[in-house]
Amino acid sequence: MLGYKPNALPQNLGTFAKLLHPEDAVRVLKTPKELFLLPGEVVEEEFRMQHKDGHWVTILSRAAILRRAGKVERVVGTHVDISELKRQQSELERAAHTDDLTGLRNRRGLSKALLNQAKSMGRGERVALFHLDLDRFKSINDTNGHEAGDHVLRTSADRLNASLTFFDIIARVGGDEFLLAKTTSASDADVLDTASQIVEQISRPIPYAGKQLRVGASIGIAFVRSVDTDEIEQATANADIALYTSKSVGRGRCILFEPGMRAAAVRTVELSSEIREGLELKEFKPFFQPQIDIHTNEIIGFEALARWYHPTRGVLSAADFVSFAEDAFLLEAIDDQIFEQACEAVPEISAMGAATATISVNVSTARLSSTKLVEKLVETARRTQVGPGRICIEILESTLLSERTTNITRNIADLAAAGFRLELDDFGTGHTAIASLRNFPVSRIKIDRSLISGVQRDPKLQAIASAIVDLGSKLDIEVLAEGVETWAEIGFLEALGCSQFQGFLIAPPLSLEELPTWIESWNGNPGFLARAV
């Protein structure tokens, strides 16, 4: 077991003591009197003995103590080499506390590691906790696939590991979240400067499959000032709250926790719970903003905009809940509910007097990359017995350029093939290449409201609007101006050749119950808009 031949060493207690690991000797070696006083008849010990070649062998010893006439007569037992078992146990323990993908520490055992870190604090020191979340990571996964996402995570972990000269603990605590800890006496300003350097390192381009992938990072920071376990847990939660705050004010931010942030975080959790309940109770409903053609005075369509009938706060616009729904991974469920209700409203709207009007529904870039999107939308249209030609799928202009992937390209083509109309929203702000309009089956472009407001007074806006209208005409693509608020804006755009409009001047977003009155009023006053212009 120890590499020696039989009888190579004296068979006595001195030999055993010589080969025993010094750290174990104090615990294992006992005098005859100490052995006599041990409870029970069997003793079990685990210790290390030195092999002939120098390495240590872990031994499990089980021995029976034979006592007679007030003394120990002999000790009889066995030694078993458990070195391999201990190695396997160590490997299993390491694996249990290690993230397979990145090789970093995982969440298991993190509290104990932070407690040990806190115990290392000296006078004037504190443990700084950095909770880091990758910005735009979901977009990498959605548009380039999970292998690309894994590559980004591994590269980010490697870059964080390169900071080991500063950090004592680096752990991956979520899908794209990391926790870093360091005992330090640095000032708040210096800690923030360190965080900014981390963001800079993470934000460097990541080569992958001939591309340059880019993510950023947001960081929330809190401090541990004592070895109290409750304070350590609270500091960890505070760093998470600070991270959420940093992401809510913009990407790439590094923010220190402040007590006022906790109340906002509690409100966010409460609102997320309310959103889930609202989905179950179908409190999310579409409002419909009319779209008209000034030349024919026809109601050509409506844009479906999500509204929340909140039980205590009244009707909320999307701006009041979308960010919270996105953080709670509930935005897709809301979108599905709005799309289904918009489809269900088509026959009702037809019966109200808008027999050919389409319904425009927004689809985000993230959803457009889903492999199940087309199947889901087609099934919803079939179930509600609505022809896809009555539904316009609104796509952000930037989707066709900066976020284009195979999935998105295929979905756009499949949506058009299924009969849905496609239109580009916020046109003029996303820098779409002209080739995108030629290569994709776009039926309408919507000039962004930022290019409409005051267009009759601004020569630069006039040049842009004129170019867009002319482009649509030459490519045989309809052009709609959204956000119109004055007759002067409509008059100028009509002179350019734009005849389709949407905005508060025409009507605000209306509930399904409000639509009959508005449609009847519009249809009962033929030509009044043209005369007003």
Per-residue pLDDT for 433 more than 70? no
* Rounded distance between C-alpha atoms, residue 509 and residue 515, angstroms: 9
Please give the structure tokens belonging to residue 232. Answer: 């350590």
pLDDT-based confidence at 533, cuts 50/70/90? very low
Helix (H, G, I), strand (E, B) or coil at 151: helix
pLDDT of residue 430: 53
Quick: pLDDT tens for 219-237: 999 999 998 888 999 999 9
pLDDT of residue 338: 95
Quick: pLDDT tens for 303-349: 999 999 999 999 999 988 988 888 788 888 999 999 999 999 999 99
pLDDT of residue 403: 44
pLDDT-based confidence at 369, cuts 50/70/90? confident
Per-residue pLDDT for 126 more than 90? yes
φ/ψ region of 378 (left if φ > 0, alpha if ψ in -120 to 50, else beta) reads alpha
pLDDT-based confidence at 107, cuts 50/70/90? confident
* Rounded distance between C-alpha atoms, residue 481 and residue 489, angstroms: 10
pLDDT-based confidence at 171, cuts 50/70/90? very high
Mean pLDDT value of segment 478-500: 93
> Which class is domain 97-258?
alpha beta
* Rounded distance between C-alpha atoms, residue 64 and residue 261, angstroms: 63
Q: What is the pTM of this model?
A: 0.64
Cβ proximity of 112 and 377 under 8 Å:
no
Angle between helices 260-280 and 331-352 (to 10 degrees): 50
Please list the residue range(s) of the chain that carry CATH number 3.30.70.270: 97-258
Mean pLDDT value of segment 290-300: 93
pLDDT of residue 143: 74
pLDDT-based confidence at 530, cuts 50/70/90? very low
pLDDT of residue 402: 45
Which of 156-170, 179-193, 372-386, 401-415 shows the lowest per-residue confidence on average (mean pLDDT)? 401-415
* Rounded distance between C-alpha atoms, residue 378 and residue 420, angstroms: 9
Cα atoms in the 13 Å half-sphere on the side-chain side of 164: 7
DSSP E strands in 175-215: the ranges are: 177-184, 206-208, 211-213
Please list the residue range(s) of the chain that carry CATH number 3.30.450.20: 13-87
Mean pLDDT value of segment 118-128: 91
Architecture per CATH, domain 13-87, reads as 2-Layer Sandwich (3.30)
Which residue do the tokens 């309310």 mark? Answer: 274
Q: How far is CA 340 from CA 105, 191, 344, 372, 383, in A?
A: 44, 49, 6, 16, 9
pLDDT of residue 250: 78
Cβ proximity of 265 and 250 under 8 Å:
no
Mean pLDDT value of segment 186-204: 93
Per-residue pLDDT for 531 more than 80? no
Cβ proximity of 132 and 198 under 8 Å:
yes
